[in-house]
């Protein structure tokens, strides 16, 4: 094959490739123009439409008296949001199936397992974690102090959930009997078995000193 033939073939390939690219660009421009025209004809139609059934990702939740803006996945649990998005690691992940109570938080004054509560479901409600119980100068909540005085914490893993549950109880019933306290705390497991210590602490915090150290 002569050099002239080779050059001619190469030139034909270059022209063919150039023509292909030009056509791709032209077709893209046409599609873009059509979208613009259709968008203009739509009048007041929003530029960005939310897919039916989709959940807004960026939400605001009230945690410990502060409005926190956070990016939340559609099926994200409150425990995951608190620990890994907001840095509130006092909410512990134990069983992760609503059995042990280590992740207990208060929502509008009622205890919930954060591991089985979707974050999207708490918008417009007030969430309180164990971090939100301390005083303005960092002092311990009376329940926390009572837990220390009665040697409630053993390994300490379940303690934050126990504290939150106890505070919720005393907010609703400031003078519970020991049996009422036992019933209210039944959703919080202690693998160290320090149940009596926790009950003693609740009695101390409630001021029911005469009931402290009575039999279980």
Domain boundaries along the sequence of the chain: 1-40, 52-128, 134-216
Alpha-carbon distances, residue 92 vs 4, 28, 177 (angstroms)? 78, 52, 28
Three-class SS of residue 76? coil
CATH number for the domain formed by residue range(s) 134-216: 1.10.150.120
Kindly give the confidence (pLDDT) of every residue in the chain, 216 residues in length, as a single tens digit, with 9 standing for 90 and above: 555 555 555 565 665 666 655 564 554 444 444 433 344 444 444 444 555 556 678 999 999 999 999 999 999 999 999 999 999 999 999 999 999 999 999 999 999 999 999 999 999 999 999 999 999 899 999 999 999 999 999 999 999 999 999 999 999 999 999 999 999 999 999 999 999 999 999 999 998 544 444 544
Nearest partner of 201 among 166, 176, 177, 172, judged by Cα: 166
**Which residues are CB-contacts of 118 (< 8 A; sequence separation ≥ 6)?**
75, 76, 77, 78
Alpha-carbon distances, residue 10 vs 4, 14, 19, 23, 157 (angstroms)? 10, 6, 14, 20, 74
**In the CATH scheme, what is the homologous superfamily, with its name and number, of domain 52-128?**
Beta-grasp domain (3.10.20.30)
Say what the pTM is. 0.71
How many CA within 13 A on the CB side of residue 72?
28
**DSSP 8-state class, residue 84:** I
Nearest partner of 59 among 42, 43, 76, judged by Cα: 76
């Amino acid at each position: 094959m002569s050099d002239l033939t080779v050059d001619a073939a190469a030139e034909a390939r270059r022209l063919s490739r150039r023509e292909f690219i030009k056509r791709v660009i032209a077709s893209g421009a046409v599609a873009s123009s059509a979208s613009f025209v259709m968008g203009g004809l739509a009048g007041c139609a929003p530029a960005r439409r939310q897919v039916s059934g989709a959940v807004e990702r960026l939400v605001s939740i009230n945690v410990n008296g502060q409005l926190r803006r956070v990016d939340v996945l559609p099926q994200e649990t409150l425990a995951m949001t608190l620990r890994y998005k907001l840095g509130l690691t006092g909410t512990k992940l134990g069983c992760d199936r609503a059995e042990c109570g280590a992740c207990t938080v208060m929502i509008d004054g009622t205890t919930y397992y954060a591991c089985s509560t979707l974050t999207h479901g708490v918008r417009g409600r007030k969430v309180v974690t164990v971090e939100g119980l301390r005083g303005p100068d960092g002092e311990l909540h009376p329940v926390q102090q009572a837990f220390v005085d009665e040697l409630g914490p053993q390994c300490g893993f379940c303690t934050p959930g126990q504290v939150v549950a106890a505070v919720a109880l005393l907010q609703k019933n400031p003078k519970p009997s020991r049996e009422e306290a036992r019933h209210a705390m039944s959703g919080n497991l202690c693998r160290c078995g320090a149940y009596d210590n926790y009950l003693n602490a609740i009695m101390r915090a409630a001021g029911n000193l005469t009931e402290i150290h009575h039999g279980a």
